Structure formats: C-alpha cells, structure tokens
Structure 1
Amino acid sequence: MAHDQHRQHEHDHPVPEHGLGHGHDHTDMDWAEMAPLLEAQAELYTPLYRQAMTWLAREVTEPGLVVDVGSGPGVVSCLFADAFPGARVVAADGAGPLLERARDRAARLGVADRFGTLTGDLPGVLGELEYPADLMWASQSLHHLGDQRAALVALAGHLAPGGTLAILEGGLPARFLPRDIGIGRPGLQARMHAVEEDSFAKMRASLPGSVAESEDWPALLTSAGLEHTGTRSFLLDLPAPLTDEARAYVTSSLSRLRDRIGDDLEATDRATLDRLLDPGDEAGLHRRQDAFVLVAHTVYTARRPS
C-alpha cells in the first residue's frame, strides 16, 4: 500500500503533540533526541485521543484506509489501528527517523501487517497513496503549511467519496500551574501564553508561501469542497499531584518554552520560570505538589460528497 522513501523534514509549535512533517525545513532538528519527548507527550495525551476516536467512530464506521497526516513517531497512528481493527493505517511524515520508530511501535503492538508509512513533504507525498483514504487525520499539522486553504484542498483530493477529514487545530492552551504559585507575580502562564501567541504568529508569517487566514476551520473545510459534519473539543485533565511521567512532561515542556520565548518574557517572569525549572529550588516543578495538566483540543470533521 504505502512505501518508504528517505527524505527528512520538520516541525514544532508550542509543545509538539506528535511529530509532523511539513513544508518548512528544519533539517537541523535532531529527531533521535526529539523522538522520546514526542512519544512521551502523545502517550500522556492518549486519553484525549481515544475520546476523539470514539467520536470519529460514530461517523466513520468501518474505514478501509486511515491516514495520519504528520504522524511523527506513530503513537496516534497505532491508536487508530487499535480503534479501527479492520483498517489499514498509513503514517505520513517528513521525518524518516520518526517513521522508523512508528514502524517499530506497530511491530511491537502486533499491527505491522496493516501498517505503512510515507516519508516526504506534506501534502505532496500523499500522492503516493495507492487508493484514497476513508479517514484522514491531521493533528496540529496544517498550521505548519504556509497556505492552509490550499493544503485542505490537497487533503480533500485524497479522500474517497464519502470519506472524512478530521483536523485537530486550536482549542485551549495547556495549563500546568495555579494562577498564584507563591513566587513571582500571579498570572505567569497567562502572560507566557500571550508571548507564545506572538511567537506563533511570527512562525506562521515566516513560512514559505504564507497566506493569512481567518481560522474559521468549518468555513475553510467548506471552501475545500467538503461538507462540515461536526466540531467537538476533548479534555485532558491530569490533576495534582502528577505522576512522574506527567511531571517530566510539564518540566520538559516549560524548559523548551524557556528556550524559545524566554528572551521575550519580562525579566521577573523569566526569573520565576528559571526557579520553576531549577531542580534544587524548593518552589520548583521537581518538588511542588500543585502542578497539573489541563488542556482542550478541538477536532473539526468534514466529509467528501459521495
């Protein structure tokens, strides 16, 4: 069904959900280093993804082919293989090393016989599919493509008649901390989110062929010739105190955020974030018991007319 070529590409917006593989080039990305973080985050978010798949199963009952667009190391792709045991699943991404891990995961889970990968720039590499998809999933991958409207048209063109495109974009940013954490000025994460929004806007503007779009996803899906069929948000709620795995995710997420936007934070907020990331600080994330994970992701579905 799908076969592998070995090209490499990219990704990354705020904290990556799982690897992507899109149009702008991050060939300096160390995917061997990134892969464990991507896998750990996707595994932590598994309850949210399972909720979304249960919802999708009401619209797409027995898909023959499911394509995960921007699959990364294949955690979610393999969840689709479990959710739809009669389907063949193809993980498509620009980063070959991540897809190697996806194939290894599929083999460990016993679904390798109906699991394939495509390596290359998205959405162009989808032209290598041998037949159209009954369900196509794109999780936080479209916003890495300069012309999102054109990308939706391209994705729609690889759907079978009656096939469904499900895109995960937007929702609410992850919250990890109370408003007042006892150090620094209250409202730290809200101010960090504002800086993130500016950083995201700059990322979008810098993409090759970037086109400014109002993020009205139902309207964009309709403009691609699809029939918008549903919108729903799904919650990940991991209350305090966190497990070791969730705490590691929060710490690594805020550490990467410090690297990306730290220079744009107010000096007092930067100092507070540094204390949170200091393993030796009594008020740091490694020791405090009030850290949590609360995030909502929104999924939009649309069907290609029969």
Structure 2
Amino acid sequence: MTHAAHRACHDAGQAEILDLDAEVLAAHLTEITAWLPVDTPPRQIVDLGSGTGAGTFALLDRFPEAHVTAVDSSAGHLQRLRDKAYGRGETKRVRTVQTNLDEPGWPDLGTPDLVWASASLHHMTHPDQVLRAVHGLLPPGGLFAVVELAGFPRFLPESAPDDRPGLEERCHAAGARVHAAHLPHRGADWGPLLTAAGFTVEAERRLTVRVNGSNDTRVGVYAQTSLQRIRHSVADALAPEDLAALDRLLDTDSQHSILRRSDLAVRTERSVWAARRPTR
C-alpha cells in the first residue's frame, strides 16, 4: 500500500469515529457550547483541527449569525465537512482551509472573535507554538475555547468479558504505552500552557459523559469501531489471551460480539478551558 493510500485509509477510519462521536455525544457538545462565556455572540469563528465538523456545526447552531472557518490537515475530513454543510444548506456559512497547524506561517484565517480547538491540541508536535499563533490571531478580548479528552471512551463494564474481566482497561493501558512517544500532550493541563502563551483563563470545567447504550444501536457501532481501531495499534502489546478475547468481541458473527451486548455505555470525560486574550 502506498503512503497516500495508507493515509486515505487511516483518514476514512478516523472520519467514521469522528462522525459517531458527534452523533452519540451531540448533547454534551451542545452543553459545552452553551457554557462558553460569551457576552457578544461571535460573528467569525475558527475551528482548529475541525475533523469532520462536529464542533463546526455545534457552533453554527449555537451562534446562528456566525461564519466558521474549519481548519484541518486532512482533505478527506474537510470534504466530508463540506458535504455536511451542503446537506444542511449552510455552505455560505462555512469555509474550509487545509493546512498543517504545526507548520509556521498559517494561511489567512481571517480575524475571528472565537477560536475553538476540540480534541486537536494534543496532536500538535509544538502546542506552545500553536497557542502563541492563536493569541496572535485573536483580537484583544477574543475567546479561545479548548476542549480535550480527559480519557478515551470506555464502553464495557469492568467485569466484562466474562472470560477476561478488565480487558478494555488493559487495552487502553497498552494504547497509552504505544502512543506515549508521539502523543506526549494527551491528558495535559492546558491552563498553565494557555497562561504562558499570554491568555487569561476565565473558566474551566470537567464534563462527565455517560450515554446508556441499551436502547441505542449507535453506541454498539461506536464501541465496535473504537475497539477495532485500538486493536490495530495494540495487537503486539497485548497478552495473547487478551488479544483472542478482543477478537471475539470484534467478530460480528460471534455470539460474543460486542454488538450483541445489552450492557454497553459510553463513559468518558471532557475538560474545557475558556481563555481570553487580554484587552491590555
């Protein structure tokens, strides 16, 4: 497989996860946008690391007079975002920009009143550089909203599966070890980093998320897709017995398939910082 084909395959899989996340956790995203300390509704918003548009469309719903510039490095994600904008009849309110935010010299992103970065900063190689760039992008008094995962979603009870209790936690622990080198900022406290970049942190909150999956088939699909992606990255780091148990869960034809379980729930946490560029 060529590098381009591998990247396209990776992006497609990631897009599926992002879309499921947006669907299943829509109410919690709405809660976050409603919480933002906004006195005057923003007219120009930049969504940094927009993915397939979960934040973009939540912000458009929250601020009906606003226009959003969605910025991402993936052409596939941005195309999916544009398709959604077309389906919603909002193409005139959305502009997309493809760029690598780790690179200096960003393209023209306008003069936003609000910059939003959800689950994207921990992917940056030089987040301090990105924070300073956002500080320069915003006018005095402009707001920067940072949303980060306090932990990746869990779906199974701790006692599951019966033959390998605690399997999901061991998969996540293996994933943390695998990704530690190239995602060192995952789980970071962004408050001090925002302050160091010149922002004043006005508010901070931690949002506990729980979505019962007993009557929502999307939760099963979300769990299946998430654990399938985890399997690709941790297969070599798991004990053979754990890998076999995980494969039984992911086998959609098996009686042990995760899609057949009635005890699933999405459990995660989101941390949110609202930071402002000082007026003086």
Rounded to whole Å, the distance in 1 between the matches of 2:16 and 2:125 is: 28
Rounded to whole Å, the distance in 1 between the matches of 2:109 and 2:82 is: 17
Query: TM-score, length-normalised on structure 2?
Result: 0.89
The aligned amino acid for 1:172 is G
Q: Is the 8 A contact 1:276 1:284 kept in 2?
A: yes
The aligned amino acid for 2:159 is D
The aligned amino acid for 1:152 is L
Q: Name the residue aligned to 1:99.
A: 78
SS in 1 for 2:260: coil
The aligned amino acid for 1:184 is D
Q: Is the 8 A contact 1:68 1:90 kept in 2?
A: yes
Rounded to whole Å, the distance in 1 between the matches of 2:154 and 2:161 is: 16
- Taking a change above 3 Å as real, the CA distance of residues 269 and 61 of structure 1, as seen in their structure-2 partners, is farther
Q: Is the 8 A contact 2:46 2:71 kept in 1?
A: yes
Q: Name the residue aligned to 1:287.
A: 260
- Taking a change above 3 Å as real, the CA distance of residues 281 and 32 of structure 1, as seen in their structure-2 partners, is closer
SS in 2 for 1:133: coil
- Cα deviation, 1:109-139, whole Å, max 9, x if unaligned, reads 1222221111111155744123x21111111
Tell me if 1:261 matches 2:234.
yes
Which segment drifts farther, 116-125 or 152-161? 116-125
Structure 1 vs Structure 2 CA RMSD? 2.4
Q: Is the 8 A contact 2:213 2:220 kept in 1?
A: no
- Taking a change above 3 Å as real, the CA distance of residues 190 and 244 of structure 1, as seen in their structure-2 partners, is same
Find 2:7's aligned residue among 1, 19, 28.
28
- Taking a change above 3 Å as real, the CA distance of residues 101 and 93 of structure 1, as seen in their structure-2 partners, is same
The aligned amino acid for 1:253 is S
Query: TM-score, length-normalised on structure 1?
Result: 0.82
Q: Name the residue aligned to 2:150.
A: 171
SS in 2 for 1:156: helix
Q: Name the residue aligned to 1:249.
A: 222
Find 1:134's aligned residue among 113, 120, 123.
113
Q: Name the residue aligned to 2:93.
A: 114
Q: How does 1:1-306 map to 2 (within 5 A)?
A: 28-30=7-9, 31-32=11-12, 34-56=14-36, 58-122=37-101, 124=104, 126-130=106-110, 132-204=111-183, 215-306=188-279
Residue-pair matches, total: 275
Displacement of 1:230 in angstroms is 1.2
Rounded to whole Å, the distance in 2 between the matches of 1:71 and 1:213 is: 17
Gaps of 5+ in 2: none
- Taking a change above 3 Å as real, the CA distance of residues 127 and 265 of structure 1, as seen in their structure-2 partners, is same
Which segment drifts farther, 223-232 or 196-205? 196-205
The aligned amino acid for 1:90 is T
State, as a whole percentage, how many aligned pairs show the same letter.
Answer: 34
Q: Is the 8 A contact 1:183 1:272 kept in 2?
A: no
- Cα deviation, 1:37-93, whole Å, max 9, x if unaligned, reads 43232222211211100101x335311211110112223201211110111111111
Specify which structure has the higher proportion of helix: 2
Rounded to whole Å, the distance in 2 between the matches of 1:32 and 1:214 is: 25
Gaps of 5+ in 1: 1-24, 206-211
Rounded to whole Å, the distance in 2 between the matches of 1:92 and 1:201 is: 25
Displacement of 1:265 in angstroms is 1.0
